[in-house]
Amino acid sequence: MAELQSQAAHAATTPAVMSPWDKVVNLVSRYPVAFMTLFFILFPFVVPYQALATQIIIWGLFALGYNVCLGYTGMLSFGHAAYFGVGSYTLGIVLIRLWENVWFGLACATFMGGITALVLGYLCIKRRGIYFALLTLAFAQLLYFVAFQWVNLTGGDNGLRNIPAVPLALPGFSVDIHDPLRFYFFVLFFVVLALLLLQRILQSPFGRVLEAVRENDPRARSCGYETSNVRWLAFIVSGAISGLAGGLYALYLHFVGIESLYWVTSGQILMITLLGGMGSFIGPFIGAGVFLFLEDVLSAITVNWMIFLGTVFILCVLFFPDGIWGTFVKLIGRKSALKR
Amino acid sequence: MDFNVIIMQLFTGLSLGMLYVLLALGLSIIFGLLTVVNFAHGSMYMWGAFVGVFTVAWTGNFWAALVLAPLGVGLYGLVIERWLIRPLYGRDINYPLLLTFGLQLIMIEVVRIFFGTSDHPFSAPALLSMPLEVMGIFYFPAYRVFLIVFTAVICFVLWFFLEKTDLGLIIRAGTRDPLMVRALGIDMNLIWWLVFGIGSALAGLAGILAAPIRSVYPEMGIAMLVECFVVTVVGGMGSLPGAIVAGILLGIVSSLTTLVYPQMADIVIFLVMAVVLLVRPSGLFGKAGLLE
Amino acid sequence: MPEHQKGKGKGVSRRTFFKTTGVAAGAAALGGFHFVRKSQAASGPLKLGCPLPLTGPYGTEALDQQAGAALAVAEVNKNGGVLGRKVELVVRDTKLKADEAARRAKELIESVKVELMTGCLSAANQLAVNEQCKLVGMPYMSISQSNEITERRDASVYTYHEALDPHTTTQAVGKWAAQKFGKRWYFLTSDYAFGWQLTDGFRRVGKMFGVQDVGETKHPLGTADFSSYFPRIMAAKPDVLIIDNFGKDQLNTIKQATSFGLKKKIQLLCPVLLASARLGAGTAAYEGVVGGTSFYWEQNHPTAKKFVAAFQKANGRPPIDYAGYAYSGVLELLNGVNRAGKLDALALATAIENRNYDNYKGKQWWRPCDHQSQQDVFILRSKTPKKKYDVFEIIDTVSGANEALLRTCVELGHKPGVPNRTGLKK
């Protein structure tokens, strides 16, 4: 977590007098989960419509999962649609066929996302770089094909429909979560849960090893770590979080489109993650927010909105290679450095 | 299964593979030398087709289009390399990938704005639009025979250029060790520039060659791009013989699949890729260790 | 407003939309977020949601649908709007992705606060939007082909289907072809629900006429090169090749089949012959190809002429494939609300069910049990154009009267003759 480190280093050398702005930044960097939770609680009241807030945190969660792979372990996957899509279909199929229970459905979605990543990860993890990327793509496409053909289970090209609108069953009472705001907070609960879990993982010794693998694989290996197992484990965590996001998305739309498994979804999540900034908690959510907001606003203005999206990407790559959040953190760092 | 059908299937597979070969050569040569994963390659293919369509609309001459399309797209590639890709050398390979991804969105949209979303009619020159009779029951279009022969000639020219000319020697040396080449006083920037132009021109050429066969519309390059990544990887990234062999191989595999289990005709190339990469991690002709 | 300006309904409505939502959202981005929410009052113009695949392979047809819907809205507004309110068409891009269609429909419902829904091209997209509409009890007029949307599982009191469905299309085209062409049929089927349904429909009607099924090849959706499918087809020596696919797939099939000389021995038949594909492939490729359609702009019928003239005036070109569905569907929806006298889904259903109407192509009828519009199917042959868009000639009309081309209510899982009240929210 680059920004954490730079902020920590910065905090150590900063003189006693800090501007209020620096204090805020410092605080945010030190407690990202707390800050993000606070922000997300206010979030649905400041976006144009609540459904957008829900979409942003679901895609942000997916990007967060993807980031475990790309940002924290340095694996460029081009097949994350598989885990997202498997999560979506699992939730839908469980609610339709097995048990109309949201908790159970989401647990299954997370589990199946993880299991899929476990199996496919086993096959891909030994390959690196562009070969890894395309191998993950190949398996994701095969899953897409299976879902496309297995019409009885998935609905095929027409998508999985008639997912029941199940109320949230808690011991003692039940809540209808299909009011937009309530559903948002329901999703937020899982986002915070995932953030806490991820923070715990990354701050554990395992998280340190992940970083070591990303920065220098041979050296980590010579330190005695079985690096491909480390990467595999990260891949599974990433798949499980993506599966959870997929499950939530299916619950949100009451529908699973076959496109959720298509490679375009994998491309989109890569874009979102890079746009927001890799290797941080906040980046993926900023990426998802900017991406979806741009898409919504621009596509209402012109049919040719993709031209603006493309321009934004090119400008980002040329001038903000660390993504929006990464650039922001750097700018803050530089400003403080100048003051010093 | 009728033996004649299988022979015909091999031929259609070959003609299918030829477009893969042209596109994969471009991708591979750019990747081998610049380590740029060019996501805009599919859109360059599409631009090649559009340049061709409008050249023919103005001049009525297919052969003029066959020259202008690769030329135009090649020049465009030179501009892109100089102003957009060059600033990214030395950074992670994800950045050119992301940049060209954004670029392809823009390229598609530009075509949509100026030429609309519809398909554009385009036919092979009269000379080549005759179906040739084969074995009494089948026909094979003369244009596809031309496509196969023409691609073979292009491959030969490219081989000759890389193996027998001084510039080719420098390019080959550049794929091995660009630092060493630079130490010998050769401006690698210029070489990279040129190679990106050649790769783009090949994409443009594939576009104009595909125009008489396939529908010409703004998104025509998207699916093609992914298929060509697969071809490039199966052949081994950066390997030109690999691109040729894999292109033909996958064309034929896909064609034969339509006899056995046609629903899988698209997806089978991914299956082949998965198997190849599991058995030979760097592809059929790839160098181990490149870009890991 | 003078007539020629009225014609620009599409542009104006989008521009107005830009002003209200686009600028508002832009302002929202700068911090004035609550402005947007407050502007969404329940009164004011009645908003009609319309998700369409504007980008993606069916963009041409989608633009046609958009223009047709805009024309209908302009006409209704000229006649005083709906219940005294002006109607505003709110278009969204689905990119031809079903989950995007669902997302957009949700946005239209929750954020734009549309009160009626139409739109979509492709079965998957309309089913996704229908799903959203059923959840909130919003009337949805589907304007593209699907078998499922009138079946028990997906149909509801809120769902209307103005378009033909694959079954109807194949019954009409198959019946006609079985009498005119040879009896050896080969099917090239696009490998998804729409393609399968077309082939099933042709087989069903073929049996009645003693047609021999000499083979079927399924191809993946979005295949760019069909050449590898042809040897097997040629070897089977069929009289008729039935091309059960759509859009670019149809264009590519016919373009390549022509270059492979298939037409020398085989008649090519398309269930849905698309003008856009014909225009994109050129005259030579489509020469002699026969197929069905719901509407062709040169039809000699009073309402058709009126519709085409108005469309031509507004857009500077005649309507091609899908404008008619959108025009008629939107008219039915909006006029239905006017007849019902209130914006109420049940009252609207009662006002539409069993209705005979003729908006643009001849007699149509709303069947109560599944909300399917019964209509005629036209048989087209491709010809050498004298002017642009003059690409087909109508060579026959297959009458849809007396439910001849429809599946029975029982087959679809409904009670015959009983209005559909599935999923009615209290």
Cβ of B110 and A138 within 8 Å?
Answer: no
Whether chain C has a CB inside 8 Å of the CB on B118: the answer is: yes
First to last CA, chain B: 44
Write down how long chain C is: 426
Cα B7 from Cα C254, distance rounded (Å): 23
pLDDT confidence of residue A7: 46
Of residues A68, A162, A82, A66, the one with CA closest to residue A120 = A82
* pLDDT over 90 (residue B72): yes
**Residue range C289-343, pLDDT digits in tens:** 999 998 898 888 899 898 999 999 988 889 987 899 999 999 999 999 988 888 8
What confidence score (pLDDT) does residue A94 get? 92
Residue B142 is encoded by which pair of tokens?
């003369």
Tell me the pLDDT of chain C averaged across its residues.
83
| Partners of residue C276 in chain B, C-beta under 8 Å | 118-119
Q: Return the domain boundaries, chain B.
A: 17-220
Distance in angstroms (rounded) separating the CA atoms of residues C405 and C167: 8
Residue C22's pLDDT is what? Answer: 42
| Residue C35 reports pLDDT greater than 70 | no
Which positions 172-231 of C are in contact with A (Cβ < 8 Å)? Answer: 191-194, 221
DSSP for residue C108: I
Exposure string for C7-16, b = 16+ CB within 10 A, e = fewer? bbbbeebbee
Handedness of CA C165, C168, C171, C177 (dihedral sign): negative
More confident residue, A279 or C412: C412
Relative orientation angle of helices A32-42 and A20-30, to the nearest 10 degrees? 100
Tokens 């006017």 identify what position?
A: C338
Residue C7, pLDDT above cutoff 60: no
Q: What is the pLDDT along chain A (340 residues), one digit of tens a residue?
A: 444 444 444 444 444 566 777 777 777 777 777 778 888 887 877 777 777 888 899 999 999 999 888 878 878 888 899 999 999 999 999 988 888 788 888 999 999 999 999 999 888 887 777 778 888 888 888 898 888 888 888 888 888 887 887 777 666 666 776 777 888 888 888 898 988 888 888 888 888 888 787 777 778 777 777 777 888 888 999 999 999 999 999 988 888 888 888 888 888 898 888 888 777 788 888 888 888 888 887 877 777 878 888 888 888 888 877 777 777 777 776 655 544 4
What predicted TM-score, i.e. pTM, was given to this entire model? 0.83
Mutation pick from B101, B111, B261 vs chain A, by most beta carbons of A within 10 Å, is: B101
Q: Does residue B82 register a pLDDT over 60?
A: yes
C344 has a pLDDT exceeding 80: yes
Closest Cα in chain A, distance from residue C171 (Å) = 22
The pLDDT of residue B202 is above 90: yes
Q: Distance between CA atoms of C91 and C118, rounded to whole angstroms?
A: 10
Tokens of C191: 């490998």
> Containing H/E element for B124?
none
Is residue B11 packed enough to be buried (19+ CB in 10 Å), middle (13-18) or exposed (0-12)? buried
Residue type, B103: L
State in Å, rounded, how far the first CA of chain C is from the last one.
42
The pLDDT of residue B154 = 92
pLDDT at residue C406 is higher than 70 = yes
CA separation for the pair C70, C62 (Å, rounded): 12
More confident residue, A340 or B216: B216
| DSSP calls for C159-172 | EEE-S--HHHHHHH
What's the whole-number mean pLDDT along residues B17-31? Answer: 90
CB contacts under 8 A, A 136-175 vs C, are: 148, 151, 156-159, 161-162, 165
Q: What is the pLDDT of residue B47?
A: 94
List of chain B residues whose C-beta atoms are within 8 Å of the C-beta of residue C252: 214-215
Determine the residue type at C72: A
Give CA angle at A46 (A43, A52), nearest 5°: 70
Cα(A103)–Cα(A106) distance, integer angstroms: 5
Q: At what angle do helices A205-215 and A227-253 cross, to 10 degrees?
A: 110
Q: At B23, is the pLDDT very low, low, confident or very high (cuts 50, 70, 90)?
A: very high
**Mean pLDDT in residue range C252-269:** 87
Q: What is the average pLDDT score of chain B?
A: 86
Reply yes or no on whether the pLDDT at B48 is more than 90.
Answer: yes
Q: Report the share of chain C in percent with pLDDT over 70.
A: 90
Backbone dihedral region for residue C83 (phi beyond 0: left; psi -120 to 50: alpha; all else: beta): left
pLDDT tens profile C216-255: 988 888 888 888 888 888 888 899 999 998 888 888 899 8
Q: In this structure, are residues C334 and C343 in contact, taking their beta carbons and an 8 Å threshold? A: no
Instruction: Supply the DSSP symbol for C407.
Output: P
CA B231 to each of CA B25, B54, B175, B207, B250: distance values in angstroms, whole numbers, following the listed order: 10, 30, 20, 17, 7
CB-based contact, B16 to chain C, within 8 Å: yes
User: Are C102 and A255 inside 8 Å of each other by CB?
Assistant: yes
Looking at residue C51, what is its pLDDT?
A: 92
pLDDT tens digits along B137-156: 677 888 888 999 999 999 99
Determine whether the interchain pair B9/C63 forms a contact, defined as Cβ–Cβ distance below 8 Å: no
Confidence of residue B290 (pLDDT cuts 50, 70, 90): very low
Report CB contact under 8 Å: B263, C285.
no
Domains of chain C (ranges; CATH) run 3-164+299-375 (3.40.50.2300), 167-293 (3.40.50.2300)
Residue A254 token pair: 């009451």
**Residue of chain A minimizing CA distance to C21:** A300
**Residue C1 buriedness (CB in 10 A; 0-12 / 13-18 / 19+):** exposed
Nearest to A131 among B88, B104, B282 (CB): B282
Buried b (16+ CB within 10 A) or exposed e, B76-114: bbbebbeebbeebeeeebbbbbbbbbbbbbbbbbbbbee
Compute CA distances B205 → A116, A274, B232, whole Å.
Answer: 41, 32, 17
Least confident of A322-331, B35-44, C6-15, C66-75: C6-15
A335 shares contact with chain B (CB less than 8 Å): no
Testing the interface with C: which of A255, A260, A295, A305 to mutate, by most C Cβ within 10 A?
A: A255
Q: How far apart are CA C388 and CA C312, in angstroms?
A: 13
Q: Is the confidence at residue C10, as pLDDT, over 50?
A: no
Q: Does B18 touch chain C (CB under 8 A)?
A: no
Work out whether strand C377-382 and strand C290-293 pair parallel, antiparallel, or are unpaired: antiparallel
Q: Chains touching chain A at 3 or more Cβ pairs under 8 angstroms? A: B, C
The number of angstroms, rounded, from the C-alpha of C367 to the middle of its chain's C-alpha atoms is: 18
Please name the member of B104, B106, B229 whose beta carbon is closest to the beta carbon of A311.
B106
Contacts (Cβ under 8 Å, ≥6 apart) of B196: B30, B34, B36, B77, B78, B80, B81, B85
Answer yes or no: is the ipTM higher than 0.90.
Answer: no
Neighbour tally for A211: CB within 10 Å:
18
Residues C158 and C183: beta-carbon distance below 8 Å: no
Cβ C99–A254 below 8 Å, yes or no?
no
C179-196 residue pLDDT tens = 888 888 999 998 888 888
The yes-or-no verdict on residue C24 having pLDDT over 70 is: no
In chain B, % of residues over pLDDT 90: 26
Residue-wise pLDDT tens digits, B264-283: 888 888 888 888 888 887 78
DSSP state of B284: S
